[in-house]
């Protein structure tokens, strides 16, 4: 099953979003938060992102979402060094809608391509 990593400047935001996505996707999907700096401040940390990717990976690939600017740069930096044959995919998506859509798609045992696409489709999905 594809895993999901949510990277935010805020640990509370990352953890809350992981909980929300897990509530909709059920217990089988690994949804890992990577938020904040080790000293508790706002920011993104490469070691936390790396650990979250490892924890989310069950062998079917991992989709990573970031909140803003430097979160994306942090993920890119991590993936430049290690991206197990392209099986870790950073997607361009609004983080809340994208993570929830990706988690539910993953829970239906869909492929990495399908999960990544469902997250990116969130860019064009209206709420009203």
Partner 1 sequence: MAQASSEAVLVTLPADVDLHARPAADFVRTAMGFSADVQVAAGERQVDAKSLLSVLALGAKGGTELRLTAAGEDAAAALDALSARVLSLTD
Tell the residue number behind the tokens 């690994």, with chain if given.
30
What the block records as the tokens of 16 is 């809350």
Question: d(Cα 108, Cα 128) in Å, to the nearest integer?
Answer: 26
Kind plus residue range of the DSSP H or E element containing 71: helix 70-81
- Which one from 1, 7, 9, 61 is the annotated catalytic residue? 9
Is residue 108 within 8 A of residue 5, CB to CB? The reply is no
Q: How far is the CB of 122 from partner 1 (least distance, A)?
A: 6
- Per-residue binder mask for partner 1 (CB under 8 A), 101-120, x = binder: x--xx-xx-x-------x--
Indicate if 9 belongs to the active site: yes
Q: How far is the CB of 80 from partner 1 (least distance, A)?
A: 31
Q: Which is nearer to partner 1, 40 or 126 (CB)?
A: 126
Q: Which is nearer to partner 1, 21 or 53 (CB)?
A: 21
Examine residue 127 and tell whether it contacts partner 1 (CB under 8 A).
yes
Among 27, 40, 86, 126, the residue binding partner 1 under the rule CB under 8 A is 126
Q: Which is nearer to partner 1, 52 or 93 (CB)?
A: 93
What the block records as the tokens of 67 is 């909140």
Candidate ranges 8-16, 18-26, 58-66, 72-80; the one touching partner 1 (CB under 8 A): 18-26
Is residue 33 within 8 A of residue 11, CB to CB? The reply is yes
Helix/strand/coil for 35 = strand
Question: d(Cα 34, Cα 66) in Å, to the nearest integer?
Answer: 9
Catalytic positions are 9
């Amino acid at each position: 099953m594809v895993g999901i990593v949510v990277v935010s400047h805020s640990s509370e935001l990352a953890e809350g979003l992981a909980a929300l996505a897990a509530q909709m996707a059920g217990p089988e999907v690994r949804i890992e938060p990577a938020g904040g700096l080790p000293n508790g401040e706002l920011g993104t940390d490469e070691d936390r992102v790396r650990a979250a990717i490892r924890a989310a990976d069950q062998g079917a690939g991992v989709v990573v979402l970031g909140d803003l600017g430097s979160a994306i740069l942090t993920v890119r930096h991590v993936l430049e060094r290690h991206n197990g044959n392209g099986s870790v995919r950073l997607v361009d998506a609004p983080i809340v809608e994208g993570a929830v859509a990706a988690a539910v798609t993953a829970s239906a045992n869909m492929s990495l391509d399908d999960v990544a696409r469902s997250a990116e489709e969130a860019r064009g999905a209206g709420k009203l």
